[in-house]
């Protein structure tokens, strides 16, 4: 199988599977690194590159013309947010987005919420 066919299959299956349900994810830096590492490992495998070849991620991305999967996930989340904001007020996803619990949060560093990551870098 040639490289273009492998990349098409990757874009249709593996990338879609890795982004499935990502509109509701709360990604921490560690999780972003794991997702990116998995993508780079898969792309390197498609090209036949091993760790011994010492190819950097940028070089692999240029060869495959692949975008960073974390950026794609953030774009997907931004599109989902815009979609929810266009919904009627009585729709459940819009109500959940606007919901503010009246219970105080626990002491300590607060857990990261989906709403907290809405400040997207462009």
- In percent, the amount of the chain with pLDDT more than 70 equals 96
pLDDT of residue 122: 39
Average pLDDT, the chain: 85
Cα distance between residue 72 and residue 91, in whole Å:
26
pLDDT tens digits for range 29-56: 999 999 999 999 888 888 888 888 888 8
Percentage above 90 pLDDT, the chain: 16
Cα–Cα distance for residue pair 119/99, rounded to 1 Å: 18
Does the pLDDT of residue 121 top 60, yes or no? no
């Amino acid at each position: 199988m040639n490289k273009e066919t492998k990349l098409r299959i990757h874009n249709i299956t593996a990338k879609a599977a890795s982004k499935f349900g990502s509109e509701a994810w709360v990604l921490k830096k560690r999780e972003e690194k794991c997702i990116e590492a998995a993508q780079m490992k898969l792309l390197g495998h498609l090209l036949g590159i091993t760790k011994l070849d010492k190819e950097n991620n940028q070089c692999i991305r240029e060869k495959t013309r692949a975008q960073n999967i974390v950026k794609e996930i953030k774009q997907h989340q931004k599109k989902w947010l815009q979609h929810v904001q266009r919904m009627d007020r009585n729709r459940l996803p819009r109500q959940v987005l606007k919901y503010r619990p009246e219970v105080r949060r626990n002491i300590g560093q607060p857990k990261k919420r989906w709403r907290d990551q809405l400040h997207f870098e462009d």
